[in-house]
A and B are shown apart, each in its own frame.
Chain A
Amino acid sequence: MEPFKKISSIATPLDKVNVDTDQIVPKQFLKLIQRTGFGQYLFYDWRYEKGVPKKDFILNDPAYENSKILLARDNFGCGSSREHAVWALDDYGFKVIISTSFADIFYNNCFKNGILPIRVPDEILQKLFSTKRTIEIDLEDQSIKADGIQVSFDIEPHWKKILLEGLDDIAMTLQHEDAIIRYEKSHKV
């Protein structure tokens, strides 16, 4: 996994609550057996009408073409556990998602793929939604800077370390091999 440091980009505002992973990647694209190439299917049913981009969908607005930050609303990523949703966001180019809240499985899946999900209070989110300027995210400092806004965000130390160093969490767990063996010897199902 690529180490995550700073991201500076215009943010794409997706103004909708309870966006579920079925919308992020519709089911017809879950049959691929690799992790790559899902960006083209991101928000597919909202983004295209019979294969033609819908003008009124935010991702089709040229102003946000190279955006790396997605602004979302409450309970983003609810529903299915499909990690394909995160692979699609990542492959499309989003590295940061900012919202008031995320669904648990989705939140976890983000970190596993080097995407930083940031929870902010509603008033901060409203301000970010109304800025059209570049937003700067610094993971080391845990800060968001944009257009007169400067706030810090919380992140679990475990995830911060994994993102900053681009660590393989399976290798990290395997360092506990002795403890796992001890547990297996004493634990009966």
Chain B
Amino acid sequence: MVASRKLMSIRRDWRERDVRVVLAALMIAVATVATIALFASQLQRTLVSSASSFLAADRQLEAENGRPIPDAWLTEAQSRQLKTGQMVEFSTMVFGADNFQLVSIKAVSNEYPLRGQVEIQLGPDEPRQLVSSGPAPGEVWINPRLLRLLDTNVGDTLEVGNLELEISGLLVREPDGGFRLSALAPRVMMHADDVPDTGVIQEGSRVEYVYLFAGEEAALEGYYRWLQPQLEPSHEWEGVRDGETFSRSLERAERFLLLGGSLAVMLAAVAVAVASRQYALSQRDTVALLKTLGVSSQGIGRLYLQRLGLWGLAGAVGGLVIALPLYWLLSRLLSDVLERPVDYQLDPAALAPSLLTALVSLFAFAYPPIRRLRNVPAMRVLRSQPGESGREALPDLTVALVAIFGLVWMYAGEVSLVLALLGGLILLLGTLALLGWLMVLGLRKIRGGGNAWRLALVGLYRHRRASLSQISVFAMTLMLAATLILVRTSLLADWQAQLPENTPNHFLINIAPDVVEDVDAFWQDRGQPLDQLYPMVRGRFTELNGAPVKEAVTKDERVGALNRELNLTWMESLPADNEIVDGEWFSPGQTRGVSVEAELAEKLGLKVGDELTFTIGSEKVTEAVTSIRTVQWDSMKPNFYMAFPPGGGLEEMPATWITSFYLPPVNKNALNEFSRRYPTISVLEIDHIIERIQDIVRQVTQAIEAILVLILAAALVVMAAVVSATLRDRQREGALLRTLGGRQSLLVRSTMLEFALLGLFAGVLGVAAAEAAVWALQFRMFEGEFQWHWAIVLPIPLLSAVVLALFGRWQLRPVLSVSPMLLLRRLE
């Protein structure tokens, strides 16, 4: 079967322009989806592991009651294939050469850290290095500030209780840079095995035991289900996704990657659908001939199904061949940004969607027009038959929309996203139908003529079906690309707004009321003004409407806030980033009432008017809820669940003050002077936490840029493919025009104009549809408000007009360089 096999061979196919377009579109589709899926899965791993390293583990269990957890709990975790580690945290006095200092000790077991790395220096002038363990027994690593405070050096000894330990390094950064109140004084890290010998921990000492867990997500969840019923109120289970600061960034990053993936799918679908329709049209003569030679309709169907299968195979293989090096390149880029190697891992689960995409693209988008080839009449060999009116393609459109819906759903797993995109598309298609009708009406009036404008308009009218389908495809492509640009911009802006420059990176805690003004002045003098100072009274929320709160609230709803002392404050004005969602903020002179944070209020079912009683020491304070307000927990400023008005009962309670401020790294030494002058005030350094958040944002930004570039590249190729599909007709027309005496300049001008108009139409429609889709997306997903994005509304239509005009000019090359006769013959 040499001839018929050859007729079906991929190599033979590849030599035909239309097949090349279909195969290229398929390969680009698979490559884009595969690259995005691989990269996204890697990014997720990187992000999660970055975020996990904030805990030095995947989960932490804190025991705030000063007692270790039962051994059985750890044994159970290990039996579930979880890695475990332990830390003991306490404050104590340490002695250096001549000085002593209150420090916060963190004693870690051999396994520490389960995630992330510890950054240390072997001396003040030595380079920083990353290590995957804590100090060995007999050694300590200390905060560099302690060198000055204790007047000591690396290599000296440090007395911790009864034990002398060697200072073997400086602790620059802990992966779990803590936010715990026990970690206020400068940090000293030692080995957990040395702790008993220090004799520091006695019955009743304030000690916190922290347990680290890492392993498979399912195992972690299973373990937590086992553990949960046994936990006491003083136990706190913490996971990355519970951390308020990162969860939102992670969630948005995930959503964006999914959106990128979905758009890639849609682009792929558009490309495959257009190209295969062109291909099917070009095959009608061959099918008619084969039928004349006696091939049955089923035979034709089989033949082309076989061919489709071959393309699918070639597209999938080719796409993966493109995707893998691309993924490798992106991994390298990511690794450069992170300044550490990332694991280059071929996640089969990530490859599956791309292969499924290839399959769906083929059968939902490529198959319908090709299937209709069976109906091509044999009579076509004798006389050209009426072509497709477009009505036959209507069921195709339905199939395509359903398939797109399914694919995007598979990718994004979110109906609202799918509906937003689909809504945008349907709006676009509807507008196109209207536009097409108007175009036909408007252009029908134009007849002949010599000038380029007229020729261009006549050209658009003459090719109205092709023009319309090209406008549709360009508009859709532009819509998808513009949507991505818009979402990316608003996402990045959002992130940057979350952590602006000069975000407070230090907290001052435990400021006694009598030194508040001096402290303020101290930093004012050094050019680092403090943010607002808040009083802080520690108290427990004990009664709700007169009933004990633990009874009033069912066990499921019990939250951490009930298990520990809350920081209560009073304030006159509402912090700028807080927002009242119910009730009213205190009016001037008001001294009664309490304002409750919205999430806590929701969890506990608190409403405006409820009476809350707080136990502060031996006193009780009862106030009615006057407002519910939202709080920006990730603002890096002091935030409070409960706020009272000034002049109320709270002011009589013993209070300390808290504030946050921005201290640039070059001024860090001022902290030493401050600590010496105000030894009782705790300084909480969170600059490294902020650095890490910014790191994550940078990584995600990088990933988004990479994916955007990929999708834009895919969009460009799709556009090129679509225009190429009508290349032959246009070249023939060009040759004819020249034969009939048309000057080259006229031909060039009219063609460029025609394409520019196409580009302009498509650009305007695409941008409008993108704005609509983004509006829907922001409304549903990113909680933003609608606004016109002038940065794209004007440039995209203009750019698309220019690019298409140049593309049209480029297409014209053979028409201008070869004699018209030769060209006509060649095109015959």
Is A bound to B? no
